[in-house]
Amino acid sequence: MKILNVDQIRALDQATIQNEPIAPLNLMERAALAFVDWFVDHFPDTTLTKIFCGLGNNGGDGLAIARLLLERQYPVEVHVVRYAPRESDDFMHNHRRLKLVTEKVNYIEFSRDIPALRHNEVVIDAILGSGLSRPTEGIVKSTIEAINRAPATVVAVDIASGLYADQPNAEDDVIIEPDYTITFQLPKLAFVLPKNGRYVGEWHTVDIRLHKRYIDLAPTPYYFTHPREARLLLHKRDRYSHKGTFGHALLLVGSYGKMGAAVLSARACLRSGVGLLTVQIPRCGYPVLQTAVPEAMCRPDGHQYVLTGPSEVEGPPPGDYTTVGIGPGIGKAPETLAMFRELLPTLKKPIVVDADALNLLSENRELLEQVPPNSILTPHPKEFERLTQTWKDDYEKLGILRDFAKTHQVVVVLKGAYSAVATPAGEIHFNGTGNPGLSTGGTGDVLTGVLTALLAQGYDPVEAAVLGVYAHGLAGDRVAEQRGPIGMVASDVVDALRWE
């Protein structure tokens, strides 16, 4: 699904109002209803709910939510933060409507008006939404600080008050730290940026039937991979297919002391549907690989400890394989660099480049030009920084990422929470699967195996990256569900891969 910027979100609201057509007040009612449906499902017990409203349309949503919850017998307290003399029209309409249901609306003008908040209460934050245009200050700031100090559960309407939807906040901005964000229709860019984690919490979109045609036509470089979209990428298997149909991949992996990386990438490659797999490892890894991964063919390198290229076992040149995956555990020995340098010009089809192969690229930048177009590079942020430059915030990082993918015509998977897949066309697809349990040694090697397998099966490289990252994260989520994230190891992730 698309991620739109604030101007586009505003235009989308207007397009919905004009084209459906629907009165703005009714659209607000629809948004409030969608929020309340989620809320009632999630908080079925009628705990005391304190709703904090600003004076714009986010506040209007809050007032409508208050009325709808009161109608459902929820004990609700409304607190309007009166930071300015004027309210929006739809705020005023909803204020009048609320007054028909309850007399009790509280106003916060001074700090002493801020109510106490207890741990068994739920706070709904409807102070500021996507209309945020400056840092929070005065009574808005004090109210947010009080909410953040409180032990109550906090649910933000649309976006946490004080958080910009599509531009960086200053370090000292005061922003709501919600447990949940319930946002309308589409996620906001701010939600998928690592620095904002605590200003988003767990986020969900609720459908308020905004104008589909506007969304379809709106230009944006940013996408979030919906599970439905990821599943659609999966190739169906013909019952008459044979192992040749799914390609023959070559993995160049491992070195003395890092043969685990070779095993993990090989096992993940096989578990991701590759037809045939050959793994080239330094000679010392031969018994390891033949024992741990009997399904793979093995090409022992001429060198005992590191990869150098030549092998005693006859085989086609790397360029003849359907694809090549290189990097996990290979180290940076001069002989390995020499091999890499010789190898690249012989490859014409997209490959997967990871780990130490990326570090070799950073240290020998002229090699970047030799990487076959549409190859997939899978750096974590440190590796990406070495490949490019440092950034001052997540937004600048996205710019650098898009430029890099476009300039070098490669697909870059920037790993982390919400891994970002940058395409040669300059788009970025954020992934939502995965959990902190994946921050453990070897999970990157697993991803290399997954992506290599998908390329071998003929997936378009962008689709391979989007689907592979999604499936890898989902496997991690399955493991975390079964055994918790802390004890998760990379082999578990291999075993939990499923393609359906």
Ligand X SMILES: NC(=O)C1=CN([C@@H]2O[C@H](COP(=O)(O)OP(=O)(O)OC[C@H]3O[C@@H](n4cnc5c(N)ncnc54)[C@H](O)[C@@H]3O)[C@@H](O)[C@H]2O)[C@@H](O)CC1
Distance in angstroms (rounded) separating the CA atoms of residues 418 and 330 = 27
Q: Does the footprint of ligand X cover residue 379 (CB under 6 A)?
A: no
Q: Does the footprint of K ion cover residue 125 (CB under 5 A)?
A: yes
Type of residue numbered 243 = K
Q: 7 CB contacts (<8 Å, ≥6 apart)?
A: none
374: annotated binding-site residue?
no
Q: How many CB atoms lie within 10 A of CB 149?
A: 10
Of positions 24, 221, 302, 485, contacts ligand X by CB under 6 A: 24
For residues 413 and 464, the answer to whether their CB atoms sit within 8 Å is: no
For residues 49 and 77, the answer to whether their CB atoms sit within 8 Å is: yes
What is the closest distance, in whole angstroms, from the C-beta atom of residue 87 to ligand X in the complex? 9
Q: Report the residue number, 60 or 372, with the smaller CB distance to K ion.
A: 60
Q: Report the residue number, 157 or 494, with the smaller CB distance to K ion.
A: 157
Coil, strand, or helix at residue 206? strand
Q: Report the residue number, 157 or 411, with the smaller CB distance to ligand X.
A: 157
Q: Report the residue number, 88 or 272, with the smaller CB distance to ligand X.
A: 88
Question: What is the footprint of K ion within residues 51-70 (CB under 5 A)?
Answer: 58
Q: Does the footprint of K ion cover residue 157 (CB under 5 A)?
A: yes
Q: Report the residue number, 61 or 477, with the smaller CB distance to K ion.
A: 61
Please give the structure tokens belonging to residue 163. 């958080």
445: annotated binding-site residue?
yes
Of positions 8, 153, 161, 457, contacts K ion by CB under 5 A: 161
The binder of 125, among ligand X, K ion, none, by C-beta within 5 to 8 A per type, is K ion
Q: Does the footprint of ligand X cover residue 128 (CB under 6 A)?
A: yes
132: annotated binding-site residue?
yes
Length of the chain: 500
Q: Does the footprint of ligand X cover residue 57 (CB under 6 A)?
A: yes
Give me the DSSP letters along 213-250. Answer: HHHHH---SEEE--HHHHHHHSPPPPTT--GGGG-EEE
Omega cis (within 30) before 21: yes
Q: Does the footprint of ligand X cover residue 132 (CB under 6 A)?
A: yes
Q: What share of the chain is helix, strand, coil (3-state, %, to 5)?
A: 45, 15, 40
Question: What is the footprint of ligand X within residues 304-343 (CB under 6 A)?
Answer: none
Which is nearest to 451 in space by CA: 194, 247, 245, 232? 247
Q: Does the footprint of ligand X cover residue 477 (CB under 6 A)?
A: no
Q: Does the footprint of ligand X cover residue 289 (CB under 6 A)?
A: no
Question: What is the footprint of ligand X within residues 144-203 (CB under 6 A)?
Answer: 157-158, 184
426: annotated binding-site residue?
no
Distance in angstroms (rounded) separating the CA atoms of residues 83 and 80 = 9
Radius of gyration (C-alpha) of the chain in whole angstroms: 26
Positions touching ligand X (CB under 6 A) are 13, 24, 27-28, 31, 54, 56-59, 61, 83, 88, 128-136, 140, 157-158, 184
Task: Give me the residues that bind K ion (CB under 5 A), please.
Answer: 58, 125, 156-157, 161
